[in-house]
Amino acid sequence: MKTNRRWAFPLHSVVCAAAVLGAAALMAGCATKTQQPKASGGWLKDQVADAYTFGFPLVATDLARERAAGGDASRPGQAPLNTLRHATALPPVGARGFPSVDTIDSSAWLDVASGPVLVSLPAARARYYDARAFDAWTNTLYSSAERMPFPKAQTIAFVPAGWKGVLPTGALRVDSPTRYVWLSIRVRVNGPRDVREARKLQTAMQIETVQGTGGGVKSAKSTANDAAADAALATPATAGAWPTGAVERTMASPAQMSPAEQAASLDANAFFARLARALDDNPPAPDDAHEMNQLGELGVVPGEPVQFRKSDAELLATGLADARERLATVPSNALSKHGWTWFGDGAGNYGSDYTLRAFLARNQPWTPTKDSEVRPVARVDSDDHPLNGANTYVLHIAPNQVPPVRGFWTLTAYTKDGALADSKLPRLSISDRDKLKKNRDGSVDVIVSERSPGKARASNWLPAPGGDFQLVMRLYAPKPQASDGSWAPPVIERQ
């Protein structure tokens, strides 16, 4: 491996060499120092921004894994690798990161470096659940909902890419290109009283490892059950509010940040040093050769220390600032209608769409494919005014515009920072399971407001937080209409 790719001279000299096409012109340009600093500086600034965008998902997931498992899982709230953690209650009031109030979550960080890891899951028993797995770059490796929203008993074998060996009969093989895999299992619940029944599925979940290539199975890892106060630790916290286009640098301590927020707070030295370390265990895709060459030119080499010159600090900081603006801007391939924004094609399987991958890793981490879940988010009404609990909004759902799902759908109101409102409210979400009052034509009007709309419309009321808020609609195991443009969430009309 080459070791001479780090900066050996100031960045402006590298820029000069890269900006001049002909050999003669290059020599003349550098010898006479006639390069144009603005143009070349802009080129390097863009190079830094591109490298940051490319590597952001891996840095965020590395921080999430470190927080959940650490080196030896010795800190409070951590669990060893290849060990399931279960949330035993619904998220508490004030929980951030747009937590679901219609599912209880189980999760584990898997390490396939030593061989296959087997995940055994029970039959659904007519209860929806979805097991999802992501590689360290946030690409979806597996989702049971893509195949069957109410799955049968199954064993999934996550193996290192190219592994040759014998797996237990009936195990579904899933190759992972990265050492670490994040597993998330969401089980539907119908309110707090239903949690005990849903947890029966959790207790039947199991993780084992395969020893050698002969198929020997090691005894199951014990599970770790979390109290309600630790429920947020079961899954890596997501970012706060849906981006508005402006970059807000948080001043919270790392422990108070989500992994994505923590990744976004790192300076160039810390960010690229962690990226270089994480690349050693989690290589990029073969098609990422150009991006890896760019990183090499910047001095970022897998497994090697990264050290930039102090004189380059301003240029690096400018490149990072541009990248953060990029990650705060909704990509052009997002779906947008009636004030809602959501993602279809490309989500979960990003290929070379590094901007979409980084945007979602920053703002909506662990986004699965369009066949697993679609999540429209709204911050404004039909007149493009911010949603506010002091107003009353009506969402008219026509009979032919009911959210198209194979699983189920929910609608939840969060604060502008993505937190849950007061638990004393009669409900925190509305779903297809609720007995909503229908109009004569079969349509449904959902009322969203801070104050009750009265007894006559209480069955269709979704309480909203005071002040500005956001609406999130989740479509679990959606049908194709949810992402092909033939369906859109209802208009949010202020009364």
Q: Are 240 and 97 in contact (CB under 8 A)?
A: yes
One pLDDT digit (tens) per residue for the chain, 495 residues? 333 333 333 334 333 333 333 333 333 343 333 323 333 456 688 999 999 999 999 999 999 999 999 877 677 778 899 999 999 999 988 888 899 999 999 999 999 999 999 999 999 988 999 999 999 999 999 999 998 889 999 999 999 999 999 999 999 999 999 999 999 999 999 988 999 999 999 999 999 998 766 556 665 454 555 543 344 444 444 444 455 444 444 456 677 789 999 999 999 999 999 999 999 999 999 999 999 999 999 999 999 999 898 889 999 999 999 999 999 999 999 999 999 999 999 999 999 999 999 999 999 999 999 999 999 999 999 999 999 999 999 999 999 999 999 999 999 999 999 999 876 788 899 999 999 999 999 999 999 999 999 999 999 999 999 999 999 999 999 999 999 989 999 999 999
Query: Which domains are assigned to the chain?
Result: 11-64+251-327 (1.10.3360), 85-234 (2.60.40.1610), 336-494 (2.60.120.600)
Task: Centre a 10 Å sphere on the Cβ of residue 62 and count the other Cβ atoms it contains.
Answer: 22
Structure confidence at residue 247 (pLDDT): 46
pTM: 0.86
Torsion angle in degrees (nearest 10) through CA of 54, 59, 60, 62: 140
Task: Centre a 10 Å sphere on the Cβ of residue 221 and count the other Cβ atoms it contains.
Answer: 18
Phi, psi of 109 (to 5 degrees): -95, 120
Residues 6+ apart with CB under 8 A from 106: 84, 85, 86, 87, 184, 185, 187, 202, 205, 234
